[in-house]
Structure 1
Amino acid sequence: MRAGGATNAFRRDINGLRAWAVMAVVLYHFAVSGIGGGFVGVDVFFVISGYLMFGIISSGLERGDFSVWRFYLARARRIVPALFVLCVVMLLAGWFFLMPEEYRVLGRHVRESLTFASNVRYFKESGYFDVASQEKWLLHTWSLSVEWQFYLILPLVLMLLARFLPGRRGVMGVVGALFVVSLGLCVWRSSVSPSDAFYLIQNRAWEMLAGAMVYMAGQRAFSGLQRRALELLGFALVIGAIVLFDKHTLWPSWRAVLPVLGSALILLAARQDSAWTDNAPAQWLGTRSYSIYLWHWPLVVALAYMDKAADPLWIAMGVIVSLLLGHLSYVWVETPAQQRLGRFTARRAGAVLVLGVAAMMVLAQQVRMTGIPKRLPEAVALVDAERNNHNPRLKECLDPDKSCHYGEGATRAILIGDSHADAVVTALQAALPQAQGSVLFRGGSGCLVTFGMHNATGKRYCDKLNHDLEEEYTRYPANVPVVVVGRTSQYIGGGEPSEFRPLFNLGDDSVTVDKAFLTEFKQRYVDTMCRLAKDRPLYLVRPLPEMPGSVPTRLGRAMLLGKSVEISLPLERYQARHAFVWAMQDEVASQCGAHLLDPLPYLCAQGACQGVEAGRPLYRDADHLSEFGNRALIPMFGQIFQL
């Protein structure tokens, strides 16, 4: 096979390209203006990794001395020590500054990061660009997991090819075919499931395979002018992607071809004396790029944690401290660890790494299980306890297959809806006159009550709930009021035309929230509610206010930091988010005589909806009222029994 250059030779162009990649990522994450597409730095890293790893493996196979175990050990020596230290520091810092639920999440993420499965975890949790991402201290380790998974697979594939399909042409054919398949998957999944495309190895492998193909192309006999032209075009593509793209860009999709192609051209040019890469700052950053990458993201999250993410001075400090910590990690951890482990036998070095990771995973698992609430001051622990102050029958009754009665005796009201309905069912029960009778509850978590709508997120129980309600509502007693509570705005992206894919649709999961969808949805919703109102009183509860983050977490976090914090939602933001749903509910009231119950007079005052009362959270998270908070709505539900 034709090599792309001496594998062990230090490539100043590659080291300099690492500098561009890491600084693009760092400046992007710190939200520095003009670096809207800095996330493409990860794509650049992938190309470099593919180039280097393919070179190491193929050279070893050609010499006949390649050992897959030595390859894995070398990668572990390079990656694990600095990652291990980062995880230790995060767990120590979390002990003092994180609420139990946050600490539990950190423990889980430490475990997944050290097993190089964090990309799968984050895929399941949320998207890379989501607001919730800013609260995940190890989110950036997803890319390490993707690379490690590539490291696990690539040598096995090349070893099989060397045995059964030897020769450069066969390897190029297979690698090229895998490249095409992975790129095709990436483009397809980007349009169908962007998080899938972003996080999972099968959709990202083509970027590393691009580096492999550059290596196979070898060092062509380019003239000096041609090399300069290739490098200039490569940097134009990379820098163009950094400047032109932003967090709203569908990614990776076909657009990732730009920085990947650009990186490939720079590697192909292989200019060792380039002004772009062969300068002191680029070389300093390049050698420390891994450690800088590791440490910068926790600092980004820390700024968000302290509400300093938009402060230019704090941003500048964050960038500087990222470089400083990266330098210290490189000098005190990366270099010494590689040197010392390199002096061990392969068996001993492997044992040290495995035992260290295993010990850390045991500790992380303990953190994940409980969050260790006893470490907190008593006042903070009381605030945190509110996250568990939910309907005591939540697990039993928030089930579409169940019909639960709250109270004893005859059914006095029927409540249907989602988890927001579950969060207020005990308040409706408390509003029953003389506390006599019961409330029948029917609902499912994340379920929209609108007949004929299909859940697009795989919650088939929501479809079943709507089907069952459509079958059974005619059997409800004519004189018993039906109350509907739901987080409807969430399911349709606030009711504003956008590229948002509604969580419920008419069977086409690719549909977006456009005017046609909203018109059809409104008709379905109004029709459903009018059918429910035909033979009995119907009460529609206006959307419940949703706070900008978990109330117990934000309040407890402020207490840990010795700060005061106001957790509230301005009325204008509430009205903007729920205007479409209010209009639909008004139409149901006008057409079908439904009654409207407004929670705002009970939860909002002086232009804002409050998340805390007398130092106690009204919500158990960001949008579900606690059993303490829902007491405020008892007078609202009391109106049902006064009419």
Structure 2
Amino acid sequence: MSRISQVSLPQMQSSDFRFEINALRAFAVLAVMAYHFGVPGFSGGFTGVDVFFVISGFLMASQVLSASERDAFSFASFYSSRLRRIFPALFVVVVVCLVWGWFFDLPKDYINTNRHAVSALFFVSNIAFDGERGYFDAAAHTKSLLHTWSLAVEGQFYIFLPVFLILMQRFAKRYLFLITGIVLLVGCVWALYINHVTPGKGFYLLSCRIWEFFIGVMLATYHMRKLNAAARNLLSISGLVFLIGSFCLIDASIPWPGIWTLIPTLAAAMLIAAGNTDLTRKLLGFWPLQRVGDISYSLYLWHWPVWVFSNNMLSMSGRAPYWVDRLGMLLLSLLLASLSWRFVEQPIRKQRQWWTSKRLVFLASVGTLSVFSFGLANVAVNGMPFRLPIYVQRAAEATFINTPRDECFRRGDSTKDASEQFCVFGVASALSPELALWGDSHANQYLTAVSDAATRNNVAGIIATQSACSAKKIESNAIINSACEKFNQEVYQYISSHAAIKTVILGKWWAGIDNAPLLTLIRDLVSQGKKVVLIGALPSPGFDVPERWSKQQISAGQAIDSMVIPMSSQSPALAIREKMMSELLPLLQTGSVIYIDPFKHLCDHEKCRLVEDGSSNFRDESHLSHSSTMRFMPDFEDAIRKMEARQ
């Protein structure tokens, strides 16, 4: 008899109510909420998502295998049931986030909110977020639909799983457990490899998460030996201890998913494998815990927007959430989840005479296409700035990037939309480029000012800028470990081999970065007979300026024309400036290096001006707005003129 046909124990039957699985859902969602709400002692609460993946793997595999054994499996019925379970409540949350964003998001942010909404409804938001900042970054706390990444991973798994299981049932039924184990092992090794090569890269991707689902799938495909009550109690208690331990002891500094992910996933597997026991029934059958398990899906959906929206409102008053605020968020999340479960989830799942599969698919399609069309319209009119008061629209204007040849700025993986190796700025008719703008986005932000200055001096230059990649000397025989290093090697070799490039303009993000490589590069370029224009450190606001400015104006109900921070808050940036000036003093004195100091344009002895005369000097927390960068054009023009005179 095959292992599949032997799945007959109560703990293996997905049709029976599994109170321990319901409790697992409750533990998982409460842990995730505790982590997101900043409850002390839950540094690993994010592992609750991994628990959900194991549960999904077990339940979905059990459902497919059970129906297949009865020769009653239907792909249409399976996908319809998944749509019925997941889509309606998700759609409601997506619409609420869009409505909220209509009133509070700046146009650039609203475009992103719409993009996230469409991605969520098409179950590809994990891919969308993979191209943005990481899950654990502070910026993630402004994305109201960030949590839908896990639903996208589950949705993609649901597409793959029944196809895999039915094929195995037909062609390799005897080896299903073995093949499932191989998939699990290969997936785990792949996740470890990705995290080793690029830490954090696999967080959002199904390819690095599928092994977690397959822990649950293996439980559904293997006939466990019948354990006595004592052994099952021990298995349950051990699983519970490891589960709570992972919630409390793991933290975000650990590459995830990775080897430590085995703790919460295997803990969940232990509880599922043990099944219903007298002891765990007393521990996990606690009525409030079971009710949280019932509403766990809606609770997961609602808690994150509640957190994001609440923090948005609190930030308008310039404060962080207190414990009483967090308690209020918890209660509001529970209320909204209960309403969602009662009036959205339950009717659509149970009232099937009206909510037929065809009607559900039709309405889901109409809803998704409506959100998609709204998103296209939103992009077409630049985030619909007319939604906001005129004085808030000024903040919105600062967030849009307006540099020439944006297609030439390389993404973090070193790809760009332009076909040429290095795009040219300045005078296109110049015989050959004499300048190079080299650095990260904090160099690229000055491109318009640099290009205008080059044009006025009748010279041209090349654009050598890449996201999050500070300029650095990389020798031709060096071992390359990243796209940034490969890019810097390419730029260095190009500049070194082109004698016509006489001046190199360097810019970078300075905060928290070791500047020794930059000093080495500058000295090397000077030794080659090149001149260097170095753009110094910017003042550091410590927050997204247009966002903070817009919130203050919305809260005040009127225009606010200025925003400043004390000069005393800029000690780190000033220390960097003093150190660089000291290190480069001999080169500054000979004129081989010219230092452009942003502080002279943005600060005086007492304060730095983030907003002045109703215009923002920054487009986010660290980049200058377009209008602000144009103040530097005379500096670049003067520097280019001086460099050209010294050739």
Could you say which TM-score interval applies, normalised by the shorter chain? 0.7 to 0.9
2:176 maps to 1:171: yes
Tell me if the contact between 1:299 and 1:318 (Cα under 8 Å) persists in the aligned partners: yes
Q: CA deviation at 1:5?
A: 2.9
**Aligned pair in 2 of structure 1 residues 436, 247: CA closer, same or farther (>3 Å)?**
closer
**Aligned pair in 2 of structure 1 residues 247, 551: CA closer, same or farther (>3 Å)?**
same
2:422 maps to 1:401: yes
Show CA shifts across 1:369-397 (max 9, x none). Answer: 43222222222223312334734565579
**Aligned pair in 2 of structure 1 residues 334, 198: CA closer, same or farther (>3 Å)?**
same
Alignment-mate amino acid for residue 625 of structure 1:
L
Supply the distance in 1 between the matched residues of 2:20 and 2:456 (Cα, whole angstroms): 79
Alignment-mate amino acid for residue 474 of structure 2:
G
What TM-score do the two structures reach when normalised by structure 1?
0.85
- Equivalence for 2:495: 469
**Residue in structure 1 matching 2:155, options 132, 148, 161:** 148
- Equivalence for 2:236: 231
User: Per the alignment, in what secondary structure is the counterpart of residue 474 of structure 2?
Assistant: coil
**Residue in structure 2 matching 1:442, options 457, 462, 482:** 462
- Equivalence for 1:386: 398
Supply the distance in 2 between the matched residues of 1:207 and 1:581 (Cα, whole angstroms): 49
Alignment-mate amino acid for residue 148 of structure 2:
T
**Residues 109-508 of structure 1: matches in 2 within 5 Å?**
109-167=116-174, 170-218=175-223, 220-271=225-276, 273=278, 274=280, 275-306=282-313, 307=315, 308-341=319-352, 343-369=354-380, 370-388=382-400, 390-391=402-403, 401-405=422-426, 414=435, 416-418=437-439, 419-424=441-446, 427=449, 437-438=457-458, 440-446=460-466, 448-452=470-474, 456-457=482-483, 463-472=489-498, 474-476=499-501, 482=503, 484-489=505-510, 494-495=513-514
Task: Give structure 2 stretches of 5+ with no counterpart.
Answer: 411-417
User: Per the alignment, in what secondary structure is the counterpart of residue 271 of structure 1?
Assistant: coil
Alignment-mate amino acid for residue 376 of structure 2:
Q
- Equivalence for 1:514: none
User: Per the alignment, in what secondary structure is the counterpart of residue 209 of structure 2?
Assistant: helix
User: Per the alignment, in what secondary structure is the counterpart of residue 33 of structure 1?
Assistant: coil
Show CA shifts across 1:370-427 (max 9, x none). Answer: 3222222222223312334734565579976233226999999946234434433555
What TM-score do the two structures reach when normalised by structure 2?
0.85
User: Per the alignment, in what secondary structure is the counterpart of residue 243 of structure 1?
Assistant: helix
Show CA shifts across 1:223-255 (max 9, x none). Answer: 222122111111111111111111222211100
Supply the distance in 2 between the matched residues of 1:569 and 1:129 (Cα, whole angstroms): 27
Q: CA deviation at 1:580?
A: 6.2
Deviates most, 523-532 or 10-19: 523-532
Deviates most, 593-602 or 297-306: 593-602
Q: CA deviation at 1:485?
A: 3.1
User: Per the alignment, in what secondary structure is the counterpart of residue 183 of structure 1?
Assistant: helix
User: Per the alignment, in what secondary structure is the counterpart of residue 444 of structure 1?
Assistant: strand
- Equivalence for 2:413: none
**Residues 519-530 of structure 1: matches in 2 within 5 Å?**
521=517, 524-530=520-526
Tell me if the contact between 1:303 and 1:309 (Cα under 8 Å) persists in the aligned partners: no
**Aligned pair in 2 of structure 1 residues 57, 579: CA closer, same or farther (>3 Å)?**
farther
User: Per the alignment, in what secondary structure is the counterpart of residue 462 of structure 2?
Assistant: strand
**Aligned pair in 2 of structure 1 residues 69, 570: CA closer, same or farther (>3 Å)?**
farther
Task: Give structure 1 stretches of 5+ with no counterpart.
Answer: 496-517
**Aligned pair in 2 of structure 1 residues 60, 642: CA closer, same or farther (>3 Å)?**
closer
2:533 maps to 1:539: yes
Tell me if the contact between 1:589 and 1:595 (Cα under 8 Å) persists in the aligned partners: no
Supply the distance in 2 between the matched residues of 1:207 and 1:250 (Cα, whole angstroms): 15
- Equivalence for 1:511: none
- Equivalence for 1:621: 620
Supply the distance in 1 between the matched residues of 2:170 and 2:488 (Cα, whole angstroms): 52
**Aligned pair in 2 of structure 1 residues 202, 522: CA closer, same or farther (>3 Å)?**
same
Aligned residues: 607
Alignment-mate amino acid for residue 528 of structure 1:
D
**Residue in structure 1 matching 2:551, options 541, 550, 557:** 557
- Equivalence for 1:611: 610
User: Per the alignment, in what secondary structure is the counterpart of residue 351 of structure 2?
Assistant: helix
Show CA shifts across 1:168-208 (max 9, x none). Answer: xx110111110111111111112222333211111111111
**Residues 509-524 of structure 1: matches in 2 within 5 Å?**
521=517, 524=520
- Equivalence for 2:629: 630
Alignment-mate amino acid for residue 475 of structure 1:
A
Supply the distance in 2 between the matched residues of 1:320 and 1:219 (Cα, whole angstroms): 41
State the superposition RMSD in angstroms. 3.3
Supply the distance in 2 between the matched residues of 1:313 and 1:162 (Cα, whole angstroms): 54
Supply the distance in 1 between the matched residues of 2:244 and 2:562 (Cα, whole angstroms): 41
**Aligned pair in 2 of structure 1 residues 582, 242: CA closer, same or farther (>3 Å)?**
farther
Alignment-mate amino acid for residue 572 of structure 2:
A
Show CA shifts across 1:590-620 (max 9, x none). Answer: 3674343322233123555332112210123
- Equivalence for 1:5: 12
Q: CA deviation at 1:32?
A: 0.8
Q: Percent identity?
A: 31
**Aligned pair in 2 of structure 1 residues 333, 412: CA closer, same or farther (>3 Å)?**
closer
Tell me if the contact between 1:11 and 1:272 (Cα under 8 Å) persists in the aligned partners: no
User: Per the alignment, in what secondary structure is the counterpart of residue 605 of structure 1?
Assistant: coil
Tell me if the contact between 1:529 and 1:588 (Cα under 8 Å) persists in the aligned partners: no
Alignment-mate amino acid for residue 335 of structure 2:
L
Supply the distance in 1 between the matched residues of 2:193 and 2:565 (Cα, whole angstroms): 38
**Aligned pair in 2 of structure 1 residues 577, 186: CA closer, same or farther (>3 Å)?**
farther
Q: CA deviation at 1:436?
A: 5.9
Supply the distance in 1 between the matched residues of 2:553 and 2:64 (Cα, whole angstroms): 53
Supply the distance in 2 between the matched residues of 1:413 and 1:41 (Cα, whole angstroms): 56
Alignment-mate amino acid for residue 494 of structure 1:
I
Supply the distance in 1 between the matched residues of 2:444 and 2:60 (Cα, whole angstroms): 53
**Aligned pair in 2 of structure 1 residues 642, 118: CA closer, same or farther (>3 Å)?**
closer
Alignment-mate amino acid for residue 425 of structure 2:
C
Q: CA deviation at 1:283?
A: 0.6
Show CA shifts across 1:147-183 (max 9, x none). Answer: 111111111011111111123xx11011111011111
**Aligned pair in 2 of structure 1 residues 602, 581: CA closer, same or farther (>3 Å)?**
closer
Alignment-mate amino acid for residue 525 of structure 1:
L
User: Per the alignment, in what secondary structure is the counterpart of residue 194 of structure 1?
Assistant: coil
**Aligned pair in 2 of structure 1 residues 456, 216: CA closer, same or farther (>3 Å)?**
same
Tell me if the contact between 1:412 and 1:437 (Cα under 8 Å) persists in the aligned partners: no
Q: CA deviation at 1:104?
A: 0.4
Tell me if the contact between 2:47 and 2:246 (Cα under 8 Å) persists in the aligned partners: yes
Show CA shifts across 1:279-298 (max 9, x none). Answer: 01111100000000000111
Tell me if the contact between 1:146 and 1:201 (Cα under 8 Å) persists in the aligned partners: yes
User: Per the alignment, in what secondary structure is the counterpart of residue 126 of structure 1?
Assistant: coil
Supply the distance in 1 between the matched residues of 2:224 and 2:561 (Cα, whole angstroms): 60
- Equivalence for 2:414: none
